[in-house]
Chains A and B, each alone.
Chain A
Amino acid sequence: MRKEPALTKTLSITEEGKWFTACRTEDVPENGGACVSYQDEQIAVFRLATQNLWFATQNLCPHKRQMVLSRGIIGDEAGEPKVACPFHKQTFSLKSGACLSNQELQDLKTYPVKVENGFVLIYVN
């Protein structure tokens, strides 16, 4: 039986957690995403170079529960950074994790991200 990854709520830095060094900045394509593994979690890291912003969300698309969001096309909708799932083009805000295309879908878990000395750091539990 497939292990169901936990969908926990979005992390904020006030909670107990730590910064984890995920990858180098050049591992994530400009205006695209990459997937990093952290313990049992798969985290999608996105680099919106047009706005010089970094984001991290769960890699699991809640629509059909597929581990693919890091492979999605990113961009913006009315200024809101978003990612589109490769499977059925459900779109999610990279800021809040909310689904923009289907209100009935769960929000994505999002993680704080920062870049230091050429490395991407993600805040995790």
Chain B
Amino acid sequence: MKSVPSSSYRKKVIVIGNGMVGQRFCEKLVEKDNHNEFEITIFGQEQHRAYDRVHLSEFFSGKTVEDLYLCRADWYEAHHISLHLGDPVVEIDKFKKNIISALGVRLPYDYLVFATGSQPFVPSFLGADKFGVFMYRTLEDLEGITAHAFRARKAAVIGGGLLGLEAAKAMMDLELETHVIEFSPRLMPRQLDETGAALLRSKLEHLGVTIHLNKDTSAIRGKDKVEWMEFTDNTELETDMVVVSAGIRPRDELARQAGLKTGPRGGIVVNDQLQSSDPSVFAIGECALFEGMIYGLVAPGYEMADVVACRLTGTEKVFKTYDMSTKLKLIGVEVASFGDPFGLDTAHSPLVFEDRMRDVYKRINVSEDGKKLLGGILVGDTRSYPMLLQTYLNNIALPRELETLLFEPPDSGDRGAGVMSLPDSALICSCESVSKGKICAAVTDHGVTDIEGMKRCTGAGTGCGGCIPLVKDLITESLKKQGKMVKQAICEHFEYTRQQLYDLIRIKELKTFEEVLYAAGKGSGCEICKPVVASILASIWNDLIIKQATIQDTNDRYLANIQKGGTYSVVPRIPGGEITPDKLIIIGQIAQKHNLYCKITGGQRIDLFGAHIHQLPQIWEELIAAGFESGHAYGKSVRTVKSCVGSTWCRYGLHDSVGFAIELEQRYKGLRSPHKIKMAVSGCVRECAEAQSKDIGVIATEKGWNLFIGGNGGAKPQHAVLLASDLDKETVIRYIDRVLMFYIKTAEPLNRTATWLNKLEGGLAYLKQVIVEDQLGICSQLEAQMQQTLDQYYCEWKAVVENPQLRRQFTHFVNSDDPDPTVQFNQARDQKFPESWTA
């Protein structure tokens, strides 16, 4: 940690506003403050610390306040920043250089930074303060809207611009009848021309939004709350709530009060160093007025924050006119607008494409000599936007066939090649200002190979996410340039895909890792290829895996799940989640005897934690004696088949879901695969077993069973999709045999069925052809191979318990019988817990 000089020697920076731009400024200043010269104090009006206002609407689609915060609550303290929330600055004395806050805090400053942002512009009409009228700006606004929406049926949004349509989407998400009121004759008047706006309008109306153009609100009426709106053309609209989103006004009242120069229509006047008329006072973001312009997007705000942080820490940097191109997805309609969308500034020839069948409109403005792109509009299909924007921003010479600009080249596998023609200076991620050069260097110099790695390395793609397709193309192309094929080889030891290796092992009948390495690989292998080969060997031959213990991933090596501290957890199989009281008691007795922590799993089983490695065979000997089998909770294999109660007890149940779940679990138990496989069976459409979140889901219907595949929970939840309906049990099993074997043969390592299906060329339609219609003619082979593997099943733990030589593998030391002396347990809630990580 840096040492902290005593405060009197440090320059005091006060930041007014803890929004996105104010926060970014603090982060940048902390990052560049190598000599610890600055002491930062933040005053924010809202009760919340800085949050992601750009993605505010996601609040309505399930994100929580926590998800939206830009940093952890302890970030400020960790960087010695004092944060005053809910306490706006109310007075500035720029001669004495101090401020007073609403709660009476008086502080001196060396530098003052305005990041006060903007507030919604409220047109002056009657009733704007009525109960049920909301702004669309802060978390508080959104919480108010959500609360009010419970009692509302209809909502009207004033403003048909960018923000207004965003608000309209939120109203749709709240399942309200949504109306948009726009003053001008078209939607998004600053971004779209008449044709583009008309297309957008028809698409939105198709989605159920009612659009009112040329409407000027004169009053909002109602007794205690909003009941109807009146317009200047003497028309009326009944509504239960009104959301005002008719533009923004810079928050400059405090600056004006302090005698700083402001613009005639608002905004703190700044120079290219973001300095106001007082050189020790700066303004950044939406409150700053630069060359007569307010920048209402986050990217230029971030750039301003960076400029000020640079200047304070001694680096020369100035703010230049910023590109205000935008792309957004509105309620399922993609819209983009860049450069000069109307071609008003320069003589130009527009190139227009309109497809009324698909509701697509594209217009680009090209300079008269046909050499330069000036701007454009895209509605309905924005796939070419990233490349068009780059062409425009970097002044790239246009091709002779201008129409190619309007279309994505067909998927020839060379889709990304065009991005490599961009100059290194081309700004790809404008939120984090990451250039093409930096992205390519991350691949060539830092070994980045995927988007996640790129986010960590450069920050590209972590803002609005709009640049991600371009970034992905750049990664792929940079890798290709290095001669690396993307995701082809398993690792440096095997230049095969998993599928190729699978076929090779089956055809050549290879049985050990050494044989596979000798036949198809080089070197000594590693932690990537060894488990992959181990999994393939197990899927095909189903031999006892710990005969080759050292190629197994951690959990498979000891047939248990490693936990903190290096002890293991044990999960006996409880098929379908059905268990007798006797067996429950025995699990309890065994847990008690060996002092194991107990927890019910999400898969309707019981997990016993905290077993030392040497205890495992003994615990299993007792479990097996009581009739239990391995639950394979440790394997990339079939785990459990969850079930609801089903028709035997439940008054809604159509069929016996428990019985079928047990049948499936008994059939597929122990089957090893590229990743874990979870299944569930529900007895009716109420779906209590949550089968649609499983790799294989079966749901009872009046006529039989519906079969779903490709669902999972986890970090990226995905619902399963319907493969076939109203099947009898035998057909369900036949289809599962086929799907699972096809998955096992063709999936990449550690891809679950959802990812596999997403990547499968032709998708679900193709899978149906293969599995249901047997168009490849492989179904009988798939079924036979599945049967061959399943016939080999035996309980792995039984094999170990009965074999003294295998049992001996279960010790911590080879030269002592002692358990690991460093393992320590603590006690909480009447059970034991391991010591938490110390590093």
Contacts and interface: CB of A to CB of B under 8 A. Distances in A.
A68 interface: yes
Contacts of B557: 71, 86
Nearest to B816: A37
A62 to B, nearest CB: 7
Contacts of B838: 2, 4, 64-65
Nearest to B529: A75
Given A73-B551, A77-B526, A86-B562, A63 B839 contact: yes
A37 B814 CA distance: 8
B492 A78 contact: yes
Contacts of A48: 524
B835 A2 contact: yes
A37 B818 contact: yes
A28 interface: yes
Interface string B277-308: 00000000000000000000000000000000
A71 B813 CA distance: 11
Nearest to A72: B527
Interface string B532-560: 00000000000000000111011001100
Contacts of B553: 73, 86
A84 B562 contact: no
21 contacts: A4-B838, A23-B814, A29-B550, A32-B550, A37-B818, A51-B524, A62-B839, A66-B566, A68-B566, A71-B554, A72-B554, A73-B550, A73-B551, A75-B523, A75-B524, A75-B526, A75-B530, A81-B524, A84-B527, A87-B554, A91-B527
A34 B815 CA distance: 9
B812 interface: yes
A22 B815 contact: yes
B562 A68 contact: yes
B150 interface: no
B492 A73 contact: no
Contacts of B558: 71
B159 to A, nearest CB: 50
A14 interface: no
Contact of B839 (A30, A65, A74): A65
Contact of B530 (A29, A36, A51, A73): A73
Interface string A74-95: 1111110110101101010000
Interface string A4-35: 11000000000000000011000111111111
A50 interface: yes
Contacts of B821: 3
A5 B566 contact: no
Contacts of B816: 36-37
A66 B813 contact: no
B459 interface: no
Contact of A84 (B526, B809, B814, B820): B526
A67 B530 contact: no
A36 B525 contact: no
B824 interface: yes
Given A71-B557, A84-B527, 8 more contacts: A2-B835, A42-B820, A50-B524, A51-B524, A71-B562, A72-B527, A74-B550, A79-B523
A76 B822 contact: no
A113 B214 CA distance: 86
B750 to A, nearest CB: 12
Which of B514, B526, B529, B815 is the most central at the interface, judged by chain A CB atoms within 10 Å of its CB?
A: B815
B437 interface: no
B565 interface: yes
Interface of B: 492-493, 514, 517, 523-527, 529-531, 549-551, 553-554, 557-558, 562, 564-566, 809, 812-816, 818, 820-824, 835, 837-839
Contacts of B524: 31, 48, 50-51, 74-76, 81
A30 B513 CA distance: 12
B814 A76 contact: no
A113 to B, nearest CB: 14
Contact of B837 (A64, A67, A84): A64
A22 B837 CA distance: 29
Nearest to A28: B814
Contacts of A37: 813, 815-816, 818
Contact of B815 (A36, A65, A78, A89): A36
Nearest to A89: B527
A70 B492 CA distance: 23
Contacts of A78: 492
B527 A73 contact: yes
Contacts of B562: 68, 71, 86-87
Interface string A38-67: 000010000010110000000000111111
Contact of B523 (A5, A27, A33, A76): A76
Contacts of B550: 29-33, 73-74
A88 to B, nearest CB: 10
A67 B527 contact: no
A30 B524 CA distance: 12
B822 A2 contact: yes
Which of B493, B566, B835, B838 is the most central at the interface, judged by chain A CB atoms within 10 Å of its CB?
A: B566
Contacts of B551: 31, 73
A35 B612 CA distance: 14
B833 to A, nearest CB: 14
Nearest to B821: A3
Nearest to A75: B526
A67 B529 CA distance: 24
Contacts of B554: 71-72, 86-87
Nearest to A33: B550
What 7 pairs across the A-B complex have the smallest Cβ distances?
A32-B550, A84-B527, A75-B526, A86-B554, A27-B814, A73-B527, A50-B524
Contacts of A72: 527, 554
A77 B522 CA distance: 11
Which of B493, B517, B554, B814 is the most central at the interface, judged by chain A CB atoms within 10 Å of its CB?
A: B814
B343 to A, nearest CB: 52
B839 A2 contact: no
Contacts of A30: 550
B505 to A, nearest CB: 18
Contact of B812 (A35, A64, A89): A35
Contact of A29 (B514, B529, B549, B822): B549
Contacts of A34: 814
Contacts of B566: 66-68
A75 B494 CA distance: 13
Contact of A50 (B525, B529, B820, B824): B525
Contacts of B818: 37
B124 to A, nearest CB: 59
A84 B514 CA distance: 19
A29 B816 CA distance: 17
Which of B493, B517, B550, B818 is the most central at the interface, judged by chain A CB atoms within 10 Å of its CB?
A: B550
B553 to A, nearest CB: 7
A110 B530 CA distance: 24
A72 to B, nearest CB: 7
A35 B814 contact: yes
B814 A64 contact: no
Contacts of A86: 553-554, 557, 562
Contacts of A31: 524-525, 550-551
A32 B813 contact: no
Contacts of B820: 42, 67
A53 to B, nearest CB: 9
A49 to B, nearest CB: 9
Nearest to B823: A67
A58 B101 CA distance: 57
A118 B447 CA distance: 43
A28 B808 CA distance: 12
Nearest to B551: A73
A89 B530 CA distance: 13
A64 B566 CA distance: 11
B263 to A, nearest CB: 49
Contacts of A67: 566, 820, 822-823
B837 A65 contact: yes
Contact of A75 (B527, B564, B814, B824): B527
